[in-house]
Structures are given as C-alpha cells and as structure tokens.
C-alpha cells in the first residue's frame, strides 16, 4: 500500500489528546494500536512509555495533535508503587527471574527513609537492560532476551519527591514525583543495593503525566465500547487545553493566512518571544505561534483543518 493510499483510508475527525488507564500486561504500543482502531487513523502517538507491568495514565495524541507533543512543556511524572526488599530480579521488577535472595535481616523503616533522602534532586541512573533504550539502533530489551549484557552510560534524571507511605517488611509502598526518563525500577534496585539486601519493583501505577491526571483516564474496554457506539471522540481533550499557552482568537482572513504559513499581527498584550495557541473562528486550535519583533505572530506548527468533535 502506498503512502497516498494509506492517507486515503484515514478516517477524518478532530484532533486532541486521549487519556487511557493502561492495564498491566499491555505495552504502550498495544494501547497505541488499539487507539488506531478506535479512531480509524494511523496518526496516534503516546507521551511517555509505561512498562508492561505498570498501570496508570498513558496520554495519547490523536491525529494532528501528534504534531503538538513537543509543545507539551509540562512533562513531570508522578507514581505510586511497591518495592519488595530481599529479592533481586534480572528485569528489576516482578516479571523477571530471581537472581538472588537475601537471607539476613531486612532494613528498618528509619533506614529506608534515610536512604531515600539521598535520591532526591538530580541523580544519575543506569538504564536497565530490559528497557526500550537503544544501543546501535537495537533496543536493550532485545539484547537482554538474547542473553547479552552491554555497558550503558548513566543518564541524569531528577527526583523531586520520594516518600515512604507504608512499610511492612518486606514490602514498602512509595510515592515518587520525577522527571521524564526516570526508571522507578532502577530506583528500587539502587535502593536495595544501598541497603545491602537487594530489592525489586513489585508494581507501579502512574498517577500523573505532565498535565494529564489519572482521574480523567479511562480503561481500554470502556474506550472500545465508546468507539463501537461512535462516541469515542467525545473523550478527546482539546489540544488548546493541554498546551498551557495564552489563547489568541483569529479572524477568518487571519486563519486562512496562517493555514498557509503566513504571519499575522500580534495583540498588544503579548511580548516578543511568547508562544500562543491560535484558534480558528470555530474555536478549534489552528496553530502554535510565536511573537516576533515588530508585533508579528509567526506559525511554529500549523495543524490541518479538522472537523468539530461530535
């Protein structure tokens, strides 16, 4: 099938963001594939991978909203999960093979809290072998399943909050607020090594991904039912509500100019360098624009015309 014929099969419809409560056992790509069926489009992407074991909010960009992912500037993550001390696994979580078991005493709560304090702020993490990080174009998890271990360069991540919510040995429940790219599995493994007993991540649930909260997410079975009933698009979050930018309403002639990549005048209230969400007369997001010297609005990213949501 040619690129043109694939485009012809695309079902037209509105752009926006969909919040899915990912079940355990699904990959993030599984969710993307399901959403392509729900909306009848190949233009679906996710904002931040979740491991198959993990559950929780997985935001999807639908249709032209895929162009806006770089402009979603709030990318902080929040998780709740449990760690089991005394057991190390090859995947650093409960899905892996057990590598070792600690026979001695497990740490007291105070020792865990002291150790956790050392992970606050900017730290370095070595990505796990069972991850989507690529080495020479090959995902590490494929190398790991082939029995290969390779050196991985540590990456800087940031942990803004890590709190021990409960502890009944050997299980500790944590809440973590962190930067994108942080592996809570690696945090669990590093914590276990620091305390001298080993540990792995038992479960993980993402409560927030940037501006998207879990309480607004729906499970795939409910979304599949909505798609079957022709009501899936009512669950799209408008792109302008997500970007956190000041909104500028365009007139008909201004919208036509912007659709073709042209500049328009900027309202007096805007300062040079500011970015705005420019809306078409009907209220749909048309473009992300930047205020240039001379009080002009320049398109940074123009969305294709879309039909209003039903």
What are the per-10-residue average pLDDT scores of the chain (310 residues)? 52 90 96 97 93 96 93 91 97 95 96 98 88 71 73 91 98 97 96 98 97 97 97 94 91 94 93 93 92 94 58
33 is catalytic: no
End-to-end Cα separation, the chain, in angstroms = 30
Among 21, 51, 93, 189, the one annotated catalytic: 51
pLDDT value at position 142? 75
Beta pairing partners, 248: 278
pTM here is 0.88
Q: State how far the Cα of 110 lies from the Cα of 140, in Å rounded to an integer.
A: 36
Q: Give the pLDDT confidence score for residue 261 in this predicted structure.
A: 93
- Cα distances (Å, whole numbers) of residue 101 to 32, 42, 198: 37, 46, 8
Predicted local distance difference test score (pLDDT) of residue 310: 37
User: What domains, with CATH codes, occur in the chain?
Assistant: 3-73+212-239 (3.30.2350.10), 77-209 (3.30.2350.10), 245-302 (2.30.130.10)
Grouping H, G, I as helix, E, B as strand and the rest as coil, residue 86 is: coil
The residue with tokens 């005048």 is: 265
Q: Which residue has the tokens 């328009």?
A: 264
């Amino acid at each position: 099938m040619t690129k043109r014929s694939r485009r012809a099969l695309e079902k037209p419809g509105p752009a926006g963001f969909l919040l899915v409560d990912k079940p355990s056992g699904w990959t993030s790509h599984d969710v993307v594939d399901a959403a392509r069926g729900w909306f009848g489009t190949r233009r679906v992407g996710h904002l931040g991978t979740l491991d198959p074991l993990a559950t929780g909010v997985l935001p999807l960009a639908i249709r032209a909203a895929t162009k806006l992912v770089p402009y979603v500037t709030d990318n902080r993550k929040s998780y709740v999960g449990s760690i089991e001390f005394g057991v190390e696994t090859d995947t650093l979580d409960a899905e892996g093979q057990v590598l070792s078991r600690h026979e001695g005493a497990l740490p007291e709560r105070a020792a865990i809290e002291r150790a956790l304090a050392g992970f606050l702020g900017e730290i370095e993490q070595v990505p796990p072998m069972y991850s989507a990080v690529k080495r020479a174009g090959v995902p590490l998890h494929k190398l790991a399943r082939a029995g290969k271990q390779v050196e991985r360069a540590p990456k800087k991540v940031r942990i803004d909050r890590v709190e021990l919510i409960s502890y009944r040995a050997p299980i500790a429940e944590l809440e973590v607020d962190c930067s994108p790219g942080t592996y809570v599995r690696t945090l669990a493994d590093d914590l276990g090594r620091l305390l001298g007993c080993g540990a792995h991540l038992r479960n993980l649930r993402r409560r927030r991904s940037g501006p998207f909260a879990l309480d607004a997410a729906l499970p795939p079975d409910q979304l599949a039912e909505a798609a079957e009933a022709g009501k899936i698009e009512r669950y799209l979050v408008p792109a302008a509500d997500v970007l956190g930018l000041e909104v500028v309403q365009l007139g008909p002639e201004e919208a036509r100019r912007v659709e073709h990549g042209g500049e328009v005048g900027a309202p007096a209230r805007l300062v040079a360098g500011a970015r705005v969400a420019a809306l078409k007369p009907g209220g749909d997001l048309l473009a992300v624009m930047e205020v240039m010297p001379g009080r002009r609005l320049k398109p940074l990213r123009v969305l294709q015309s879309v039909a209003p949501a039903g």
